Structures are given as structure tokens and as C-alpha cells.
Structure 1
Amino acid sequence: MRTAPPLLAPLFRSDGQARLLAELFLSGADELNLHELARRTDLAYGTVHREVRRLLDVGLLWERRIGQARYVRPNPDSPLTQPVRDLLLVSAGPVPLLAVELGAITGVQAAFLFGSFAARMRGEPGPPPNDIDVLVVGDPANPAAVYDACRRVGDQVGREVNPTIMTRDELAHHTGFLTQVRDSPVVPIIGELPWR
């Protein structure tokens, strides 16, 4: 299935390609096998296989085989590696970077993007977003750690990351804010969306 170029990063051929590149270049994993890459990006294995082949052909990725398993990682010798990483940081970077940062905080059960950045990632037209809104679900033992993590990611992607922390009990209330978030596009970061 062919998808349109992502609105936040129209230089990439498709949303799937941008997600795959973001996972490879920004997730912090040393290398990933193709099955794990397909799972993390929610792409079909065949799609991942084709995209990886294209990226290997242009020298952007490096491959290692162990038996039948194929492991790939960014090619440190390619002159394109750093520019691609820089583009991804600004366009697709918040999701894998926030997954690493928030996933390490005790008490965080789920997190997802909402607001204009999530809407552009989901293909809704509109002006470029100035900041990134994140809803963090759980009861973190140290809420300051969530704010610090979001600040670090914001510094990396060049946009302010604004976290809102709510417990699962607070999500059960029917406030105007929560109604708007539930009715708008969201992008999962970690965990399951609490109302789906």
C-alpha cells in the first residue's frame, strides 16, 4: 500500500519510510533485525525489506547477517548519515526519542502525542506546529523527571515539548480538554491509549 509523503517531512517518500528511518537513526538501538524493525514501525515485513534494500543500495545503512537474520544500522561512513539524522530529529524524532526517555521513568504507563504536531504526523493539513504536546499517563514517582525528559527531547528536535501528566483516574473525567484530545489525532509513544 502506497502512502503519501508525511506532512512534517515531505522530503521523505512516505510516512512508512520516515518511521523506519526514525527508528533506525533515533531509537538508540545499535542495530535492529528486520522483524523487530517491522514490529516497531508497524509496517509489513515486505515493506521493511524493500525500504532497507533501497537504503543499503545507496549506502545509508550497514548490514550484518547472522544465519537467516539480517541486522541493519546507519552507516557511520556515509556522508548522508548525519544530515538524515538531523532532518529526522526535527520531523519524526519526538516519538522514538520520547519512547526512550519516558520508558525509563518509573510509574509512566503510557504516553502519546496530541495537538497540532500529532495532527500533521497523521496527515491532517495545517500550519507547521511550533511545539509538541505529550500526554503522559500514570503516576510517576518523580514528575520532575518527566519534565526533564521532555526538555532534553525538545533540545534535540528544536521544538518545545509540553508534557501533561494525568493518572488513569483523572482520565475517567469528562473535561473539555480530554474530550478534545480523545476526538483529535494522537500518535502513540509507549503503552496503550487509555480510552481505546
Structure 2
Amino acid sequence: MKTIAPQLTPFVRSDAAGAILAETLGHPDREFTLAELGRRTGASGPVVHREAGRLVDSDVLRDRYEGRNRLVSANVDHPLFALMRDLIAATYGPVPVLRDLFEGVDGVEQLLIYGSWAARRAGESGAFPNDIDVLVIGDAPRRRLATLASEAGGQLDIPVNITRLAPGDWEAEEPSAFVATIRSRPMVEVMSGELRA
């Protein structure tokens, strides 16, 4: 099966590699197990193992073993570290940035990215997104969401628009036109109730 080149960063070998780089370069002070990277990126174990191995072989990531666990981290001494970190943050960074900002926020049952960024992440060609559309399912206070949108936009250097929906509106059998449109288009899950627990 032929793999489609990622539309967010066409020069990155795969979408999984972009997601792994977003986690590792975005948290240069942390080490990740391959299983944790799989959970955070949604990539399968073999894909994470293969892509992490390629990134270690190219000296972008470092690895070490602790017992049977292989731990990987960003190689902050790589001559292109700052450039790679900034580029990956601008392309794949929304998921880890939003996850970090929303971790522990009450009233968020699910957090999704939709719109042009999600479409590019799904491989649809088109212009680079000029904003990030985020859907919060829950009852988090709108003022808190506005603050988080501003913080996320500042970190990502791109406007972040947050829409809040009640769980009943999202799960309705006869959804509004807005919900039906979002459901019919690509979405990227950032966080769900299971992931927050």
C-alpha cells in the first residue's frame, strides 16, 4: 500500500513521524517509551518502533534502554534542533500543545481539531491552514476556553478558534447542520474522557 506524503510537512517521511517529532521535539526535557508515543500519537506499535528507529538513526532522536523499555528523547545537540522544533511545532504541534493546555481542565469531555488543519493531517491537499479550529464537547466555562484559545494561539503562532458543544448536541441522532458537517469531515482527536482519566 502506497503511503501518501503528509500534507502538513510534505518532506517528513510519514504522518506518524511528524506526530512523534511533535511529542519529542515539543518536550525536549522528557523521555518517552515507545508505548507512550503510540498512545499519544495514535500510531501502532510497529509504526512507532520503525519511525522512532529511523529518527534515532538520523540522530534527530536519542534512545536508551531501561530494562526492556526503549526510551527516546529529542537530540537537543542536533545542529538543526531549533529549526526542526519550530517547523514541527507549526505543523504537528497543535495536538500536544492543546493536550498540555487542556489537561486537567474541568468540563471538557472530548477535544477535537476539525477544519482545514484536520483535513491536511488526513492527507487532503490544499493551502496551509491559517487557523486551528477546535471543538470542545462539554460544559467548560466559555471565559476559560477563550483564555486557553489565546494561550494556544500564542504558543502556535496561529489563531485558535474554540467552539463548545454540549454532549447531547454532539451525540444527537438528528444533529444540527454544523455538527453534521463536522462529523462528515476529517477530525483529529486530541483528548477524550478515557485519555484524561
1:154 aligns with 2:153: yes
- Say if 2:17 and 2:52, in contact at 8 Å, map to a contact too: no
CA contact (8 A) 2:61 2:73 kept: yes
Indicate conservation of the 8 Å contact 2:7/2:121, yes or no: yes
- Give the alignment's TM-score, normalised by structure 1: 0.89
State the Cα distance separating 1:27 from its structure 2 match.
5.4
2:12 is the alignment partner of 1:51:
no
Instruction: Indicate whether 1:188 and 2:170 are aligned.
Output: no
Answer whether contact 2:28 2:76 (CA < 8 A) is retained.
no
- Determine helix, strand or coil for the equivalent of 1:123: coil
CA RMSD, 1 decimal: 1.9
Query: In structure 2, how many angstroms separate the alpha carbons of the residues matched to 1:186 and 1:41?
Result: 14
Query: Aligned letter for 2:74?
Result: P
Q: Which residue does 2:106 correspond to in 1?
A: 106
1 CA distance for matches of 2:12 and 2:130? 21
Give the SS at the match of 2:62.
strand
Q: Say yes or no: does 1:66 pair with 2:66.
A: yes
d(CA) in 2 for partners of 1:118, 1:29: 28
1:145 aligns with 2:144: yes
1:124–1:41: structure 2 CA closer, same or farther, 3 Å change rule? Answer: same
CA distance in 1, matches of 2:133, 2:164: 11
Comparing 100-109 with 26-35, which one deviates more in the overlay? Answer: 26-35
TM-score (norm 2): 0.88
Output aligned runs, 1:73-88, within 5 Å. Answer: 73-88=73-88
Secondary structure of 2:163's counterpart equals strand
Task: Say which is worse superposed, 76-85 or 142-151, in terms of deviation.
Answer: 142-151
Match of 2:46, SS state, is: helix
Match of 1:3 in 2: 3
In structure 1, what residue type is equivalent to 2:190? I
Specify the alignment match of 2:175 in structure 1.
174
Deviations 1:56-81 (A, max 9, x none): 22222122321111111101211222
What is the CA distance between 1:37 and its match in structure 2? 1.3
Report if aligned partners of 1:4, 1:13 keep a CA contact under 8 Å in 2. no
SS of aligned partner of 1:110: strand
Contact 1:27 1:97 in 2 (8 A): no
User: Which of 67-76 and 146-155 deviates more?
Assistant: 146-155
Gaps of 5+ in 1: none
